[in-house]
Amino acid sequence: MGRLFGTDGVRGVANADLTAELATGLSVAAAHVLAEAGSFAGHRPTAVVGRDPRASGEFLEAAVVAGLASAGVDVLRVGVLPTPAVAYLTGVLGADLGVMLSASHNAMPDNGIKFFARGGHKLADELEDRIEQVYRQHSTGEPWDRPTGAGVGRVRDYDEGFDKYVAHLIGVLPNRLDGLRIVLDEAHGAASRVSPEAFARAGAEVVTIGAEPDGLNINDGCGSTHLELLKAAVVEHGADLGIAHDGDADRCLAVDGTGNEVDGDQILAVLALAMKEAGTLRGNTVVATVMSNLGFTLAMEREGVQLVQTAVGDRYVLEAMKESGYALGGEQSGHVIVLDHATTGDGTLTGLMLAARIAATGRSLAELAGVMERLPQILVNVRDVDKSRVGSSAELSQAVAEAERDLGATGRVLLRPSGTEPLVRVMVEAADIEQAHAVAGRLADVVKSALG
C-alpha cells in the first residue's frame, strides 16, 4: 500500500479512494499525533475546518468534524473558504490545527484533506508520516482512547471567518486599486465570494466569471487550468488584467490587457522587483522550484536578485523560506507565498498585490511582465507508467544525458513523478521551440518503454 500523503495532503476520488471512514480516521489520528507531540499541552484543543464547494466536501467535512470532536477537539466550522483563509484563521484564532477539504485544481470527483499545524503552517513530513502510521495501526482494530461526557469536542459555525480574512487581505495591500478594471475567474471554487469582495473593497472595478459554484462545476472549463474564458473576457471588457484562481484559490495566474497569459514565474518576477524596490525582499532573494523557466533565472540574475531553487511543491518553497528568513517564493503554477502576510500560497493575495503594482506604477501588466522572457518550455505528462522507478532506470538516465548534451547551455531537461497524480512529467526547455518539442517527444517515448 502506497503512502497516503502526497506533496499536498491526502488526495483521491471522493467516496472511492477518499472515503468518510478514511477522513474520520485520519482526523482522529491527527488529533492523537499532535497531542503526543505536545501541541495540546495544558489546554483544550481547537481546530478550524473549511472546504471548497465540491459536493463531496459536504460529507467529508461531516466526517472530519466527527473525527476531531470524537477525539476531544473543539471545532470551528468556517464553511466554504479558500485554503489560505483556513491557514490564516488557524493562525489568527490561535487554533491548534486546521483542516481544509479540497483537491485544488483537480476535477470535481476528486477531493483531498490538508492539515495545518498551530500558526497555520503545513505539517512537517515527519508528522504526516506519524499520522499515517497511527491511522493504519488503529484501522486494523486497535481501539482509540476516546473521551466521554464533557471531554468530547464541541462544534460550532464560525461565520466571522469571511470578513476577518477579507479585512486581512485589504489590510496588507501597499496601495489601493482605484481606476483598475479587473476580470476575476473564480473556477466556481472556494474564492467565489471572497475574491470579488476583496478586489471591490480595494477599489477595483470588478467583472466576475466562474463564480457560481453548484458543487459539481468546480474547475470545469474555467479557472487557472482553463484560461480561455478569462482571456476572452479581459479583451471583451477592455480590462487592465484578469486573475484566475484554482478550486481552493491557493494559486493565481493572470492575463494581461491584450489577452496574453502571465504565469507564476512572471508574477513572481514582478513581485520580486516591487518588493526589492520597497526594501521588503529580505536577503535580496526569491525562492522558486526547479520547474521555473530558465527565463526567470536569467531575469533575476540581470536584476541583481538572488535565486534559491527547491524541489517541486510549495511546501518545499516554504521550508526554504522559513529556514533562511526569505520573504517571497513561489511556483510557475501560480503558488506564490508572501511570508510576511501568509503561511501558504494565497491566490487572492497574489492577485491583489499584482494589481497593486500596476496601480502604483501606472504601467501595464504586459510591460511589467516583460522583465522576463519565457524560453520555450514543453511539458509532457506520461500516464500509465511506474512513476516510482524514475530515478532507478538506467535506460532513462542515459536518454536524459543524451538530451542534455543535445541542448547544451541553451536548455535543460527535468523528469519528475507527479506528487498528486499517477504520472511522470517530462519538461524540456530550449531556445528553439521545435527542438524542445522533439527532445520532449523522444524522452516521453523512453519513459513509456522504460517504465511502462
- For 258-317, how does the pLDDT look when each residue is reduced to its tens digit (9 = 90+)? 999 999 999 999 999 999 999 999 999 999 998 899 889 989 999 999 999 998 888 889
How crowded is residue 218: how many other Cβ atoms within 10 Å of its Cβ? Answer: 32
What order of strands is seen across the sheet that includes strand 377-383?
377-383, 423-429, 412-417
Strands 252-256 and 261-262: antiparallel
Which residues partner with 184 through β-bridges?
Answer: 208, 243
Q: So what's the pLDDT on residue 2?
A: 67
Q: Is 248 annotated as a binding residue?
A: yes
Domains with residue ranges and CATH for the chain? 5-159 (3.40.120.10), 164-369 (3.40.120.10), 377-451 (3.30.310.50)
Phi, psi of 323 (to 5 degrees): -60, -40
CB 77 within 8 A of CB 159: no
Q: Is 110 annotated as a binding residue?
A: no
Q: Which three cell numbers stand for residue 324?
A: 533562511
pLDDT tens figures, 8-55: 899 999 999 999 999 999 999 999 999 988 889 889 999 999 999 999
In the numeric block, the cell 482605484 is attached to 178
Q: Is 125 annotated as a binding residue?
A: no
How crowded is residue 39: how many other Cβ atoms within 10 Å of its Cβ? Answer: 16
Q: Is 163 annotated as a binding residue?
A: no
d(CA 443, CA 449) in angstroms, rounded, equals 10
Whole-prediction pTM: 0.89
Q: Which three cell numbers stand for residue 98?
A: 486546521
Query: What is the largest distance, in Å, between two alpha-carbon atoms of the chain?
Result: 70
263/390: higher pLDDT: 263
In terms of DSSP H, where are the helices of 264-376? Answer: 264-278, 294-302, 314-324, 347-361, 365-369
d(CA 319, CA 329) in angstroms, rounded, equals 10
d(CA 63, CA 359) in angstroms, rounded, equals 45
Residue 329's alpha-carbon distances to 216, 305, 444, in angstroms, are: 32, 12, 30
Lowest mean pLDDT: which of 25-34, 146-155, 327-336, 419-428? 419-428
Q: Which residues are catalytic?
A: 104
